[in-house]
Structure 1
Amino acid sequence: MIEQLGVGRTPLREAFKILEAEGLVSIVPNRGAVVTQLTPSDVEAVMTVLIGLEGVASEPACAQVTPAQFMSIENDHLKMMDCHRRGDLMGYFHLNQSIHQKIVDCAGNAPLSRIYKAECARIGRYRLAGNRNATRWATAVSEHEQILGAIRNREGALLRELLRVHHLNGWRKTREVLEAELASTAHSAAGAKAPQAGKRSAAGRKKSHPESV
């Protein structure tokens, strides 16, 4: 990695410390930095925080949003809709994240924006899973149309509720996907252990009955 990035060990080590502090990686002895794996409950806890942060930001964001800020959000929204039409999930996801961050930023609260950004980074790869479902993706698009309308009309209370419902709907589908993936992984792991257990059992029988050799 040092050669790939063209940096020294010290900057790389410091970067990993920052990522570890943000909960994105874990430093494991003799292995180095490993991407942190979160459980569905972990992700749900972060989602609860994000909903709360957006709730705090909604009314001041609607009250303070400037024409330039709204135009930036609207442009991202239009690009995001185009991604949906083209089936570009990754492009959609990045624009979606940008829109939500810009909404929070409109509140003009730097600590709020900073915490929101950090928590989003922790669960970004998990949230992407929810929109892999075509029905949920289409619903999310409709929800974003309403969200944009609330910002345009400076309806802070409505925006707060729309964002809350939007995230809860998304999390419901994301949780289904994550739990299915965990179940599949556990099943595969159990299947991989079974042949090894069989080999150990056979070896034990040979030791117990040397005359059979």
Structure 2
Amino acid sequence: MARGAHGGRGGQGLARVAVVVRAGAAPLWWCGVFAAGIGVLPPGLTGRRIGVMAGAALFLVGAAVVAYARRRRYAALARGTARAGKHDVLQDRAVTVRNWRRGHRWWLLLACAVALGSSFAVPAAGGMLLAGTGAGLRLKAAWLGRRERAEDTLLWLRVDWLDGRGGRPAGKAVKAYRGTGIAAGDAAPGGARRRTAALV
């Protein structure tokens, strides 16, 4: 299992699709929890009770929208999965997560700031929406994990296709996924850390 971003001898650097999806779940969740916790302190324009009730609804809506967004695109790419080549380089889970979070750090800070600012109008609602998007990403990664287990194939995509436009794992730049056996790499189906890392 190699850690580089690009393959050698004609191979490609590959990142796990589910890991890329899951990478934003934790920072969005914790930014949302922080913003909601601080945001519930000011009474706001609507009052705390209405703010929290609105936030709960936004949490559910945000989680559902993110969890189900572009599933047809993911499914279509998964159906066209080609077998990874022997010279392809599988990127470590930690590297994929670090790259995603580094590329999105300013967006995450801006989202947290906006959620905090919105609390002066609707207490806690912005933070709860942010937390809901994090929960939605976790649900989407779990859905991908169920597909991977059902088909006994882990889904990967070329690292260079993640460059630019936020690194979307089902964006227009992504032409196809590649597949490996279920034990490849150091991330389990769904993108969670594998307890015992296995080699290809």
Asked if TM exceeds 0.5, the reply is no
User: Which structure has greater helix proportion?
Assistant: 1
Q: Which has the higher contact order (CA 8 A, sep 6+)?
A: 2
Q: With the length of structure 1 as denominator, give the TM-score of the two structures.
A: 0.27
Q: Which has the larger radius of gyration?
A: 1
Q: With the length of structure 2 as denominator, give the TM-score of the two structures.
A: 0.28
